[in-house]
Every structure is written in structure tokens, then in C-alpha cells.
Chain A
Amino acid sequence: MAGNLSSLVIDTLCDEPCEEEIAIAMFYCDFRDKGEQTTINVMGAILKQLLVRGEVLEHVRKAFQKAKVEVGGRGLRLPDMVQMLKQAVAILPKVFICIDALDECLPKNLLELLGSINDILGESPRMRIFVTGRPQVEAEITRAFTTSVTIPISPKAHDIKRYLEKKLEMDTEQYAMSDRLRADILRVIPERISGM
């Protein structure tokens, strides 16, 4: 699921013809980078992907120039970042934000991140948010957003079969395989796993 599903959604949004203009920003949370994946850095990474129009860039450039003059280039604060994101989302016709593996965020960052997104959403209800994570983050999602649509992900027989086919193709010891064994593998494992 993690990564795979999000990347599929992002590519689908990017590729399929859509009647309206859209802008897409993505983020993959990763516990290995959790030190660097602070809320402000994540929101900044999202904003970078939304700089698809001159007007949006102009707002950011102004804020950058101002920060540079103020204290010789002081760092950004989260409210400034959220403000810039609000401006960007308001300018762009339709914004999709996809965030993968929320459970890999540090708990304090997660609440702050979801709160910031909800803050932006409050001003731009057309924005769409796609998030994935383990079931335990559902409580945080429910807390941060007044409403959300949830879809449980369970292993799908078709997906498992597809995966096994690929692994069998890549098997370096083909001599040990027979058609019958292959057929059994492709039948039994997807049944067992998807029935869990």
C-alpha cells in the first residue's frame, strides 16, 4: 500500500484528462527522515510543487525578499508558510495534495501537519486531500478534519496474484518450477492472504 497506492493516485491525477485545470502536490512521509520532515519542511515541499503560476511565485518571492531584509534572511515560521499556501491554493483553480504514510510522521508533527492543512482547507474547500496511513492515525484524521471519507485497504487477490506472477518471472531457479506448482502458488496464496 504505502507509496504504491499514493503514487498510483498521483499519476492518475497527473495523466488522465481532466476538465479543469489542476495542480498536484505530493509528500511521502518516511520514518527514516522524520527528523527532517518537520511540519514546516513538509508544507514547504508542498508549496514548492504549487509554484506553477507566476502569480503564486510572486507572492512567495515577496515573502522571501521581506524575510531576507528583516533579519538577514531569517527562517520561515509555520504561520507564514500556511499563509503562503493559502494564497497559492486560492489562486490555483483546483489543488490536489497527496500525503503518503502519515503514521511515519512524528506524532507532534502529524497533528500540526493535519491542523495546518485543515486551516488551508477552511479557506479553500475545493482543495482535495488524499492521505494514507495505518489504522491508528484515523483518530488524528478525525480530530483534524470535520469530515473525511475513509477507504480500508485490504490485500486484494488480484494484486497479490499480480505480485506473485512478477516474482515468479524473476525467479532465477526456473528449473525448480513446474506449471503445476506455479498454478498452485498463484491460486492458493492470493486466496489465503485476501481471506485474512
Chain B
Amino acid sequence: MDYTTYPHSISIGDSNVNCGNVTNSNNTVNVNKIIADENPEIMRWLSPLDPRRRHQDVRIDRLDGVGRWLLETNEFQEWRRGEGGAGGAVLFCYGDPGVGKTYLR
């Protein structure tokens, strides 16, 4: 699977996000349906930060296939499927500086 060329995008410049707007996905709640974007005053009240822009920057630089091993681990798959209930709710990936930041940017 190609992680950088799929047809989803997060537009920069306004707070309208399209993430996961992909055919054959039956997720009906998605980041692309942020209805509150029509309420800028409430948005500012909640937080001045907009992490979706950073996400866009990072994903543009990401290389295809890098890090895919993580998605294939049992830990990740079980976490994602929600196995283990509350006990399996938190997945923490840790690494020293240099394992990814320096080499894999």
C-alpha cells in the first residue's frame, strides 16, 4: 500500500480537514466531518492550536514504507482492534533520539 499517494488531503489555510475521505471506507465518523469548523469563535475558545497543519507537514515528508513494520506488529493490531479492553488502551512507542528523527526524516 502506498502511504503517500492516496487521495486524501488536509487543506491548509482554513480549518477544513479531509482525512480519511476514501471510497470503500465505511467509517462514518471521520475527521473530514468537523462540523464545528463553522463555529470559529468556539474553536478559538477551545484552543489556539491546530495540530492538523503539523500533521500535513509531517506526512508530506514521510517516505513510503518507512515505519510500516509497526503496523504489522501484534501489539499494534490488537491495540487497534480494541482487544484487551481498558488494559490495552494505551500503546506507547518509544525510541532514543536518532532512531527516527535523525535518520528517517
Q: Which residues of A contact B (CB under 8 A)?
A: 1-19, 21-28, 30, 33, 36-37, 40-45, 47-49, 51-54, 57, 60-61, 64, 67, 73, 76, 81, 92-94, 121, 125-135, 137-138, 141, 145-156, 158-160, 162-163, 166, 193
Contacts and interface: CB of A to CB of B under 8 A. Distances in A.
Contact of A52 (B30, B87, B104): B30
Output the residue of B61, B70, B71 with the most chain A CB within 10 A.
B70
A8 B30 CA distance: 17
Contact of A5 (B34, B48, B70, B78): B70
A92 B35 CA distance: 14
A64 B92 contact: no
Given A12-B71, A18-B26, A149-B90, A7 B62 contact: yes
B35 A151 contact: no
A141 B50 CA distance: 24
B35 A5 contact: no
Contact of B51 (A26, A92, A121, A132): A26
A8 B76 CA distance: 12
B54 A135 contact: no
Contact of A6 (B58, B61, B66, B104): B58
20 contacts: A8-B71, A11-B3, A11-B19, A14-B19, A27-B51, A40-B47, A45-B51, A48-B34, A49-B34, A53-B35, A61-B42, A73-B45, A94-B82, A128-B91, A130-B93, A132-B94, A149-B91, A151-B92, A153-B95, A153-B99
Contacts of B85: 125-126
Contact of B35 (A51, A133, A163): A51
A49 B52 contact: yes
A134 B59 contact: no
A163 B55 contact: no
A141 B90 CA distance: 9
A88 B19 CA distance: 19
Contact of A154 (B39, B45, B46, B95): B95
A11 B64 CA distance: 12
Contact of B49 (A42, A130, A146, A151): A42
Interface string B22-56: 10111111110111100101110111111110110
A25 B50 CA distance: 11
Given A14-B30, A42-B47, A130-B91, 8 more contacts: A15-B25, A45-B51, A57-B39, A131-B93, A146-B87, A147-B87, A149-B79, A159-B103
Contact of A11 (B24, B59, B93): B59
Contacts of A23: 29-31
A16 B25 contact: yes
The 9 closest A-B pairs by CB, nearest first: A1-B100, A44-B47, A153-B95, A14-B20, A125-B86, A51-B36, A148-B90, A44-B46, A3-B58
